[in-house]
Structures are given as structure tokens and as C-alpha cells.
């Protein structure tokens, strides 16, 4: 029994960590069927987005949520990401930015209000179809103890070498991989190829390019990459997000300037909203954050 318990317990720990870091969990959910907290409603249909990103508007309608019902984390959050547009969320640590993304993935159900994709309440459709429609480039990408090819192809199981390579080229990681002794067959991890934060993010971008989902979530890394690397990754992210419905959880304001709408959050509430020019004109919290960031840079 103990022999079984240890690996199961270990998987549980990994599961929780990954869930927290918002990684694509389709495979993990299959493995951990019994850990599911959220169930499909009987007879749930798949989310229907016949025209892909053109149909994939996202709405949060008066959403209130707490991980523990006694402690509300998000209070009456309403916003819309029109199909193909980008909405950015900024705010201090712990203000609830990543929680928005976790709810969009339906890792948890909202306590009040609803989340709607393409006109469909995500509680009423199958979770697998919701997750299929979403791609995420997380802060910390979880890599598997497997080959580089496997790690990229994970975005779309069954993808061939040529597709994996094309995605890696687009994510500007092909050169790095090719320079490794076994190229795409090189093992990743402790005893294999060690990747920096920026390289891991590029693997995540390549995965997402392969998956090609209509809705994208970027959870910007808090740990600063060097600025050349950071600018390059931002440019690649913009390529991936082109014409997709995108939610950006931003830690640097330079990422959000072009967003359709910017939500400024504090303690689980939206305290300011508008595009960059509007928020600068308001001369409130966003303008203060902008001034502070300019001065530190």
C-alpha cells in the first residue's frame, strides 16, 4: 500500500503545483480523474466556436469568487474581451490577477455571476472543450523529463517533427535546440538540457503555437529576464496573439500599452479601467504606476 501511496501522493503535490501555475492540464486531469473538483453538468455539450477566434469573445459578468467561501478574493468583476482583442490586467501582487485566469480555465467555479465564452456559460459546457479553446504561456513553464520534441509537441499531441520544428523556429528556440548534442531528441531536465527562464518561456510559446487555440492567456513572468530577451519574447507573444482573444496578466506596463482595455486591480476589485491614453489622462493609480516604472527603468 505504501508503495502505491508514495507515488500517488507525489502526483498530488505535482498536480497542485501545476494547477497553481496554470499549466495546460488536460493530460494531468486524465491521470488524476479522482482529484477533479469540478464536474461537467449532465449532458454537457462541447463549447462551440465554429469560426475560431472570431467567435471567441470572453465575458466576466459580475463574478465573485473565493478559494475559501469565507474569504472573498474577487468582488463583482465584470469585463469583456471582444473576439480577437486583448485585455490586460495589472495590479499589485495578490490582487487577484491570476485568479481570473484560473477561473477562465474553470479550475474552480465562481460563487456568483458567470463567465461566458462565445455566448456560452463555461459551467454549461464540457471542461475539456473549454481547455481546448485556451492556450497559456505561464510564468513558470513545467517541463517534462522527456525530450525537447515531446515537450513542444505536448501542445498538440501527435504533431510531427516538421511541425514541432516550425513552432520552435517561430518561437526563436530552434537555434538553441539544434546546438544541443542530440537536437530535438535531447532530454530536458536535471540530467539533460537545462533551460533558462527565457528558454522555458520560448518552449511554452512553441507549444502554444502548435496548439493554436482561439483564446490566449499570457501570465507574464515576474522574474525579470534581461531586457533584450524580454523585448524579444514580448514580440513573439504579440505574434502568437495576433487576431486571438487574449488576456494578459502583466507585470510590466510596457506590455499593456496597446491593449483594447486595461483593468487595474486592487484587493480583488477593478479600481480603474480604460485604454492607456484614457488611464494616463485620468491621472490615477495607473498613471502613478507608469511614472514609477519609467523612473526605475
Looking at the Cβ atoms of 68 and 190, the one nearer to ligand ATP is 68
Helices (H), the chain: 2-20, 26-31, 97-104, 127-133, 148-153, 161-170, 174-179, 197-211, 227-241, 276-282, 285-296
Looking at the Cβ atoms of 94 and 119, the one nearer to ligand ATP is 94
Q: Collapsing DSSP states into helix, strand and coil, what is residue 200?
A: helix
Looking at the Cβ atoms of 74 and 148, the one nearer to ligand ATP is 74
Q: Collapsing DSSP states into helix, strand and coil, what is residue 256?
A: coil
- x/- string (CB under 6 A) for ligand ATP, residues 214-253? ----------------------------------------
Binders of ligand ATP among 115-174, rule CB under 6 A?
Answer: none
Bridge partners of 87, per DSSP, are 247, 261
Neighbours of 244 (CB within 10 A): 21
What is the residue whose three cell numbers read 490586467? 89
Contact call for residue 103 and ligand ATP (CB under 6 A): no
Cβ 164 vs Cβ 207: under 8 Å: no
Question: Judged by CB under 6 A, how many residues of this single chain contact ligand ATP?
Answer: 10
Contact call for residue 99 and ligand ATP (CB under 6 A): yes
List, in order, residues 6 or more apart from 100 with CB less than 8 Å away: 60, 74, 77, 89, 247, 249
Considering only 23, 57, 95, 129, the residue that binds ligand ATP (CB under 6 A) is: 95
Q: Which segment (35-43, 77-85, 86-94, 199-207) binds ligand ATP by CB under 6 A?
A: 86-94
Considering only 73, 104, 143, 215, the residue that binds ligand ATP (CB under 6 A) is: 73
Smallest gap, in angstroms, from Cβ of residue 267 to ligand ATP?
9
Q: Which segment (96-104, 140-148, 156-164, 195-203) binds ligand ATP by CB under 6 A?
A: 96-104
Looking at the Cβ atoms of 53 and 103, the one nearer to ligand ATP is 103
Distance CA 22, CA 105 (A): 8
Work out the angle at residue 115's Cα, subtended by the Cα atoms of residues 221 and 124, and round it to the nearest 5 degrees. 125
Contact call for residue 205 and ligand ATP (CB under 6 A): no
- For 277, half-sphere exposure in the C-beta direction (CA atoms, 13 angstrom radius) is 2
What is the residue whose three cell numbers read 449532458? 43
Contact call for residue 98 and ligand ATP (CB under 6 A): yes
Contact call for residue 255 and ligand ATP (CB under 6 A): no
Distance CA 257, CA 213 (A): 24
Contact call for residue 38 and ligand ATP (CB under 6 A): no
Contact call for residue 97 and ligand ATP (CB under 6 A): yes
List, in order, residues 6 or more apart from 282 with CB less than 8 Å away: 272, 274
Residues near ligand ATP, by CB under 6 A? 67, 73, 91, 93-99
Amino acid at each position: 500500500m505504501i508503495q502505491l501511496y508514495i507515488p500517488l501522493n507525489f502526483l498530488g503535490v505535482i498536480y497542485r503545483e501545476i494547477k497553481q501555475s496554470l499549466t495546460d492540464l488536460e493530460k494531468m486531469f486524465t491521470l488524476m480523474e479522482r482529484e477533479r473538483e469540478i464536474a461537467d453538468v449532465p449532458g454537457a455539450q462541447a463549447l462551440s466556436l465554429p469560426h475560431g477566434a472570431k467567435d471567441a469573445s470572453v465575458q466576466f459578468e459580475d463574478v465573485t469568487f473565493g478559494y475559501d467561501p469565507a474569504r472573498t478574493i474577487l468582488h463583482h468583476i465584470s469585463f469583456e474581451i471582444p473576439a480577437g482583442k486583448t485585455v490586460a490586467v495589472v495590479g499589485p501582487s495578490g490582487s487577484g490577477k491570476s485568479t481570473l485566469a484560473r477561473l477562465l480555465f474553470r479550475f474552480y467555479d465562481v460563487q456568483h455571476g458567470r463567465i461566458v465564452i462565445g455566448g456560452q456559460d463555461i459551467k454549461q459546457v464540457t471542461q475539456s472543450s473549454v481547455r481546448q479553446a485556451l492556450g497559456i504561456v505561464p510564468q513558470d513553464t513545467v517541463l517534462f523529463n522527456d525530450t525537447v520534441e515531446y515537450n513542444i509537441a505536448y501542445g498538440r499531441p501527435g504533431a510531427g517533427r516538421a511541425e514541432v520544428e516550425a513552432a520552435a523556429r517561430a518561437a526563436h528556440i530552434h537555434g538553441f535546440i539544434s546546438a544541443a548534442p542530440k537536437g530535438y531528441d535531447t532530454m530536458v531536465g536535471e540530467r539533460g538540457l537545462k533551460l533558462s527562464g527565457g528558454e522555458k518561456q520560448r518552449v511554452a510559446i512553441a507549444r502554444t503555437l502548435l496548439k493554436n487555440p482561439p483564446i490566449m492567456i499570457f501570465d507574464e513572468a515576474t522574474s525579470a529576464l534581461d531586457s533584450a530577451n524580454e523585448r524579444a519574447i514580448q514580440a513573439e507573444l504579440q505574434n502568437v496573439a495576433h487576431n486571438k482573444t487574449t488576456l494578459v496578466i502583466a507585470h510590466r506596463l510596457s506590455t499593456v500599452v496597446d491593449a483594447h482595455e486595461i483593468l487595474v486591480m486592487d484587493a480583488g476589485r477593478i479600481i480603474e479601467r480604460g485604454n492607456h491614453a484614457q488611464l494616463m489622462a485620468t491621472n490615477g493609480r495607473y498613471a502613478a504606476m507608469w511614472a514609477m516604472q519609467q523612473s526605475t527603468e
